[in-house]
Amino acid sequence: MPRRTIGIAFAAGLALLACFAFRAGADTDAQGFIRLAPDELQWKTVSDNGVKSAVLFGDPSKPGLYVVRNIFPPGIMSMPHFHDHDRTVVVIKGTWYTGTSRDWDPDRTVAIKAGGFMMHPAGAVHYDGAKDEEAIVQITGMGPVSTVFAHPDYKGFGRPHKLD
């Protein structure tokens, strides 16, 4: 099957799943449209280091499409991990740094500026976050999704330093 046909089928499947997904607390109009203003986002602090997350659509712990926005404070990155499903990421604000190994070495990251995109393949170890400025990213994926950390003693978020 050609890539374009697969892409169209995937997009159609996502559109169908989106009909069944929702974001808790969002107003849905009579036609099913959901609109959120920036001040309506329900941010939750997810780490002692100030990383915040807001679910815009769906639920990452349940089947279906989800959209999450994360804020990384300066100097904070996720620790090396992988997910069991593909996820796509768009940088909304700042510069987001990404590493694709287990080493958690901030010097080996690649900078992606606002407007940039990255796809994280299922099972691929990575780490990411901010260096000198706050970074905001928007993550889209299919749930339920799980996160597995590459180093049992390093989970969550922190100030990166070379591990391997």
Identify the structural domains of the chain with CATH numbers, from first to last: 3-23+43-158 (2.60.120.10)
Q: How far apart are CA 100 and CA 18, in angstroms?
A: 30
Torsion angle of C-alpha atoms 129, 133, 134, 140, degrees rounded to 10: -40
pLDDT tens per residue, range 29-60: 889 899 999 999 999 999 999 999 999 999 99
Rounded Cα distance between 69 and 96, Å, is: 13
Q: What token pair was written down for 72?
A: 């990384």
Handedness of CA 152, 164, 51, 145 (dihedral sign): negative
Residue-level pLDDT at 28: 82
Q: For residue 9, what pLDDT is reported? A: 37
- What confidence tens digit (pLDDT) does each residue in 105-116 have? 999 999 999 999
Nearest C-alpha neighbor of 52 from the set 36, 25, 84, 76 = 76
Residue 19's pLDDT is 35
Share of the chain above pLDDT 90, in %: 78
Task: Return the ∠ at Cα 127 (arms to 61 and 66), rounded to 5°.
Answer: 25
Q: Is 139 or 25 the better-scoring residue by pLDDT?
A: 139
Instruction: Say yes or no to pLDDT of 14 above 90.
Output: no
Q: Which pTM was predicted?
A: 0.82
